[in-house]
Amino acid sequence: MEQYEPDRLSPAQVAAVRRSFRNGRAALTRRSLLRASAGGALAAGGLGTLSACGIPAAGKTRGGVSADDLSAKEKTVTFSNWTEYMDVDDSGKHHPTLEQFTRRTGVKVKYTEDINDNNEFFGKIKPQLAAGQDTGRDLIVLTDWLAGRLIRLGWVQKLDPANLPHAYANLSAQFRSPDWDPGRAYSYVWQGISTVIAYNKKALDGVEVKSISDLLDNPRLKGRVGFLSEMRDSIGMTLLDMGKDPAKFTADDYDAAVARLQKAVDKGQIRRFTGNDYTSDLTSGDFAACVAWAGDVVQLKADSPDIDFLIPDSGYMTSTDNLLIPNKARHKTNAERLIDFYYEPKPAAELAAYINYVCPVDGVKAELEKIDEDAANNPLIIPDKAMAAKSHAFRSLSSKEETEFEAKFAKLTGA
């Protein structure tokens, strides 16, 4: 019964899944219990007080966006990142690249892994940013659609190109000008995330899978196909399969893609829409094939020979996690120096060798070959020309579209 080993899930998976549930669940049960015992509290509060508490417009930040830059005086920078998104040495306590940065610049990095979910983190920093206050963070990492939303709301600061010579020179062409931040005025890529099709050879049992259509239509895969609960990844892959460009689709195209997925849901083809937890379904064989994130698949493949991935002919989606400096951050220059540091080929290679995501830095291959030849030749980490040509990005959405599309997608996934 090797399946019962508790370490089947990597700490990162467990942390990610746990974090995305814990808060909400505890709140719900506690609240339900309290409600039952003290339902009268509301009546006592009186309805008059209700109208007093509206939520102010998000865009209107009071005061300026920048605080006094204390970078020269205080040699620190506070960096909030996702879990397992930074190189760690064997003891598990040190981050070699961050320590290099400190040795070189004298700037100490307060590194916290407190981002586990874009939506959740947005909820966390929203009150401060909306009120024009410091979040206590100088540098944050957010996925492109949320980065775009923060830029749209005016909650992040414009970067100073003078502090970013390497970043400017070495950013891969593929990531240079997303429509939500043309010319990268506010953001730089931390890592790229490719969305591909992953499969379990044993569970497929000879069934040939080459495209999203195979996942949606092949009756032999009924009930053993997984899609991601991340709207842009699932819809993006479906749009590509239908011959539409996710960078330019219309509302009708979107509806058609949702309808296509809905048909597969209705006939029981799609088993579940998952977050990171698809990895356990895939390794146990409950998913024969699923839409998956390449960074995970590189890891799963190393652990199990049955797991592999493929890139459909129609192309694949690439999203990015981006470094941003929130309004009122106190160490803007230090944060910019940290961004620039990770665009030097050597630290970038060390990071890429450790975390297996798409490296956004040009000229890393030679450095990476010295550390890990396999990684240097893995197109999922350093995309070659053919790979880069098939990569697509999801277009940015207006606030109204975002709400509308997310609501339609929520309906598709059952709520």
Partner 1 sequence: MSTLTEAPPPLAPEAPGPKPPKRRGRWTPYWLLLPGILWLLVFFALPMVYQASTSVQTGSLEEGYKVTWHFATYWDALSAYWPQFVRSVLYAGTATILCLLLGYPLAYLIAFRAGRWRNLIMILVIAPFFTSFLIRTLAWKTILADGGPLVGALNTLHVLDVTSWLGLTAGDRVLATPLAVICGLTYNFLPFMILPLYTSLERIDGRLHEAAGDLYARPWTTFRKVTFPLSMPGVVSGTLLTFIPAAGDYVNADLLGSTDTRMVGNVIQTQFLRVLDYPTAAALSFILMAAILLMVTLYIRRSGTEDLV
Q: Least Å distance between CB 345 and partner 1?
A: 38
Nearer to partner 1, 254 or 341 (CB): 254
Residues near 354 by Cβ (< 8 Å), separated by ≥ 6? 86, 87, 88
Rounded Cα distance between 250 and 254, Å, is 6
Q: Give the containing element (helix H, strand E) for 152.
A: helix 144-153
Nearer to partner 1, 22 or 176 (CB): 22
Q: Least Å distance between CB 14 and partner 1?
A: 7
Nearer to partner 1, 57 or 162 (CB): 57
Please spell the DSSP secondary structure of 210-259, one letter per residue.
Answer: -SHHHHHH-GGGTT-EEEES-HHHHHHHHHHHTT--TTT--HHHHHHHHH
Nearer to partner 1, 53 or 173 (CB): 53
Q: Give the residue from 55, 213, 176 showing the smallest Cα distance to 126.
A: 55
Q: Least Å distance between CB 54 and partner 1?
A: 5
Rounded Cα distance between 300 and 339, Å, is 29
Cα dist. 249→213, 241, 252, 268 in Å?
Answer: 19, 13, 8, 27
Q: Least Å distance between CB 210 and partner 1?
A: 24
Residue 159 C-alpha from the chain's centroid: 21
Q: Least Å distance between CB 279 and partner 1?
A: 11
Rounded Cα distance between 292 and 366, Å, is 28
Nearer to partner 1, 146 or 240 (CB): 146
Residues near 185 by Cβ (< 8 Å), separated by ≥ 6? 158, 159
Supply 130's token pair: 């909306």
Nearer to partner 1, 18 or 110 (CB): 18
Nearer to partner 1, 224 or 301 (CB): 224
Rg (CA), the chain: 22
Q: Least Å distance between CB 312 and partner 1?
A: 23
Rounded Cα distance between 380 and 308, Å, is 12
Q: Least Å distance between CB 52 and partner 1?
A: 8
Q: Which phi and psi angles does 115 have, rounded to 5°? A: -110, 125
Q: Which phi and psi angles does 291 have, rounded to 5°? A: -80, 130
Rounded Cα distance between 88 and 351, Å, is 9
Q: Give the residue from 49, 145, 45 showing the smallest Cα distance to 393.
A: 145
Q: Least Å distance between CB 111 and partner 1?
A: 25
Rounded Cα distance between 234 and 409, Å, is 10
Q: Which phi and psi angles does 319 have, rounded to 5°? A: -115, 175
Nearer to partner 1, 76 or 280 (CB): 280
Nearer to partner 1, 63 or 165 (CB): 63
Nearer to partner 1, 155 or 316 (CB): 155
Q: Least Å distance between CB 27 and partner 1?
A: 9
Q: Least Å distance between CB 47 and partner 1?
A: 8
Q: Least Å distance between CB 262 and partner 1?
A: 9
Nearer to partner 1, 115 or 352 (CB): 115
